Amino acid sequence: MGPLTRLSEGAGWGGLMKLSLFSDYSLRVLMYGALKGESFQLDEVTKAYGISRHHLAKVVQRLAQLGYLETRRGRNGGITLARTPQEIRIGRLVRETEEQPAILECFDPATNTCPINGSCQLKGIVGQALREFYAVLDRHTLHDTVNGPHRARLMKTLLG
């Protein structure tokens, strides 16, 4: 069992850390594209995950702007991965799709009002945890998320 499997099974996280739905949906769209291995339609992804077309359209648009997807309109239109699954690092993708506020007030100098900022160790501890979180994600690619012992089940679930 690899690190991604342990993370997906909860590993005692208790909901403490949560990615935005935008990042979650971004990962799902890219995973779908990696599994499909060819051009796909937005409606396919909507059906596979049961997510609103409106939400996924925003995700696809942003992923195209970031260079993860290519989109084509018209008769032969569709969506394709703009990079190979081996080139797409999970950590980088999450950094580029997360727009959540700082995890602690003291992480944002513009809004920090904490009177003990610079005196306590919490900022350093949480900062280290975040660096380690991203270090794990940086070690993995989109390819890692769709390959391995669960690939056949993913294919059947998402692609039919």
Q: Within 13 Å of residue 139, how many CA atoms lie on the same side as its CB?
A: 8
User: Would you give the distance in Å from CA 150 to the centre of its chain?
Assistant: 19
Per-residue pLDDT, 15: 52
Domains and CATH numbers, the chain: 18-100+142-159 (1.10.10.10)
Per-residue pLDDT, 6: 44
Amino acid at the residue 119: S
Per-residue pLDDT, 141: 98
Per-residue pLDDT, 1: 38
Q: What is the pLDDT along the chain (160 residues), one digit of tens a residue?
A: 344 444 444 455 555 567 899 999 999 999 999 999 999 999 999 999 999 999 999 999 999 999 999 999 888 889 999 999 999 999 999 999 998 777 788 888 888 888 888 888 888 888 898 899 999 999 999 999 999 999 999 999 999 8
